[in-house]
Structure 1
Amino acid sequence: MAKKQTRTPVHSAITKWLETSHLQISPADAHELLSTAPKRFTIYEPMALLPAGSFLKHPWTLYLQDDLSKLWPLVLQELSKANGVKLTHLAITEGIPLHEDDDASSENVLRSPIGLRMLHGDFGPATSPAEPAQADYEKALWVSTRQNGIIQTWAPRWTMFSRGNVKEKARLLDFPRAENSDEWAVDLYAGIGYFVFSYASLGFRVLGWELNPWSVEGLRRGARANRWSVKIVQGQDLSLPLNAILSGDEQIIIFLEHNQKALERIQHMQQSLGVAKDLRHVNGGFLPTSEPVWKSALDMTHEAAETWLHLHENVGVKDIGARQEKIQQRYEDWTSSEPSPKRSARASHVEQVKTFAPGVWHCVFDIHITR
Structure 2
Amino acid sequence: MLRAVQQWSTQTGPSLSTEDEHLLVKQLNHSYVIYGTLLLFPVSLLESQTWKVVNQQGDNPLQELLTSVAKHLKVTHIAVTKPIPPQLHGDDSEDNVVRSPSNFMPLYGDFGPETCGFPPTQVDFGKAYWVTAKQNGIFQTWAPRWTMFSRGNISEKARILALPAVASAVAEGVEDGRGCTAMDLYAGIGYFVFSYLKAGVSKVLCWDLNPWSIEGLRRGAATNKWKTVTHAEHLAVDHMIDHHARLLIFNESNEHAVDRLALLRRQLPPVRHVNCGLLPTSRGSWTTAFAVLDPTAGGWVHVHENFELSEIADRAEGVRKEFQRMYDMTDHAEHAEVVLKHVNRVKTYAPGVFHVVLDIYIPPYATATCR
Q: Same fold (TM over 0.5)?
A: yes
Question: 1:210: Cα distance to partner?
Answer: 0.7
Question: 1:59: Cα distance to partner?
Answer: 3.8
**Whole-angstrom CA distance in 1 between matches of 2:297 and 2:19:** 69
**Whole-angstrom CA distance in 2 between matches of 1:144 and 1:97:** 24
- Out of 112, 118, 134, the residue aligned to residue 100 of structure 2 is 112
Question: 1:302: Cα distance to partner?
Answer: 4.6
**Whole-angstrom CA distance in 1 between matches of 2:20 and 2:161:** 50
Query: Which residue of the partner structure matches residue 303 of structure 2?
Result: 311
TM-score of the two chains, using structure 1 as the length reference: 0.89
Root-mean-square deviation (CA, aligned residues, Å) is 2.0
Query: Which residue of the partner structure matches residue 217 of structure 1?
Result: 215
- Out of 258, 263, 270, the residue aligned to residue 253 of structure 2 is 258
Answering whether residue 127 of structure 2 is matched by residue 136 of structure 1, we say no
Query: Which residue of the partner structure matches residue 40 of structure 1?
Result: 31
Query: Which residue of the partner structure matches residue 91 of structure 1?
Result: 79
**Whole-angstrom CA distance in 2 between matches of 1:193 and 1:32:** 38
Please say which of residues 336-345 and 350-359 is displaced more in the overlay: 336-345
- Out of 85, 100, 115, the residue aligned to residue 88 of structure 2 is 100
8 Å contact 1:279–1:304 — kept in the other structure?
A: no
SS at match of 1:224: helix
Question: 1:313: Cα distance to partner?
Answer: 0.6
Query: Which residue of the partner structure matches residue 328 of structure 2?
Result: 336
**Whole-angstrom CA distance in 2 between matches of 1:48 and 1:111:** 21
**Whole-angstrom CA distance in 2 between matches of 1:22 and 1:251:** 53
Question: 1:31: Cα distance to partner?
Answer: 5.7
Question: 1:168: Cα distance to partner?
Answer: 1.0
Deviations for 1:91-119, whole angstroms, at most 9, x for unmatched residues? 11112222223313522111112222211
- Out of 182, 187, 191, the residue aligned to residue 185 of structure 1 is 182
SS at match of 1:70: helix
Please say which of residues 110-119 and 32-41 is displaced more in the overlay: 32-41
- Out of 305, 314, 320, the residue aligned to residue 322 of structure 1 is 314
Query: Which residue of the partner structure matches residue 15 of structure 1?
Result: 6
**Whole-angstrom CA distance in 1 between matches of 2:64 and 2:128:** 24
8 Å contact 2:181–2:270 — kept in the other structure?
A: yes
**Whole-angstrom CA distance in 2 between matches of 1:153 and 1:94:** 19
8 Å contact 1:277–1:304 — kept in the other structure?
A: no
Letter in 2 for 1:45: G
**Whole-angstrom CA distance in 2 between matches of 1:228 and 1:39:** 36
Seen in structure 2, the aligned counterparts of structure 1 residues 275 and 38 have a Cα distance that, compared at 3 Å, is same
Seen in structure 2, the aligned counterparts of structure 1 residues 58 and 295 have a Cα distance that, compared at 3 Å, is same
**Whole-angstrom CA distance in 2 between matches of 1:165 and 1:181:** 31
- Out of 261, 264, 269, the residue aligned to residue 264 of structure 2 is 269
Answering whether residue 154 of structure 2 is matched by residue 166 of structure 1, we say yes
Letter in 2 for 1:72: L
- Out of 236, 241, 247, the residue aligned to residue 236 of structure 2 is 241
Q: Structure 1: which 5+ runs fail to align?
A: 1-8, 81-86
Query: Which residue of the partner structure matches residue 370 of structure 1?
Result: 363
Report which of the two has the higher share of helix. Answer: 2
Answering whether residue 195 of structure 2 is matched by residue 207 of structure 1, we say no
Question: 1:42: Cα distance to partner?
Answer: 1.4
Seen in structure 2, the aligned counterparts of structure 1 residues 106 and 36 have a Cα distance that, compared at 3 Å, is same
Letter in 1 for 2:66: W
8 Å contact 1:280–1:304 — kept in the other structure?
A: no
**Whole-angstrom CA distance in 2 between matches of 1:369 and 1:326:** 15
The 5-angstrom pairing of residues 294-305 of structure 1 reads 294-305=286-297
Question: 1:34: Cα distance to partner?
Answer: 4.3
Q: Structure 2: which 5+ runs fail to align?
A: 365-371
8 Å contact 1:53–1:94 — kept in the other structure?
A: no
SS at match of 2:132: strand
Query: Which residue of the partner structure matches residue 57 of structure 1?
Result: 48
SS at match of 2:129: coil
How many matched pairs?
350
Query: Which residue of the partner structure matches residue 75 of structure 1?
Result: 69
Question: 1:359: Cα distance to partner?
Answer: 0.8
Letter in 1 for 2:343: V
Deviations for 1:30-62, whole angstroms, at most 9, x for unmatched residues? 565445434332111111112222243224224
- Out of 136, 146, 149, the residue aligned to residue 137 of structure 2 is 149
**Whole-angstrom CA distance in 2 between matches of 1:182 and 1:31:** 57
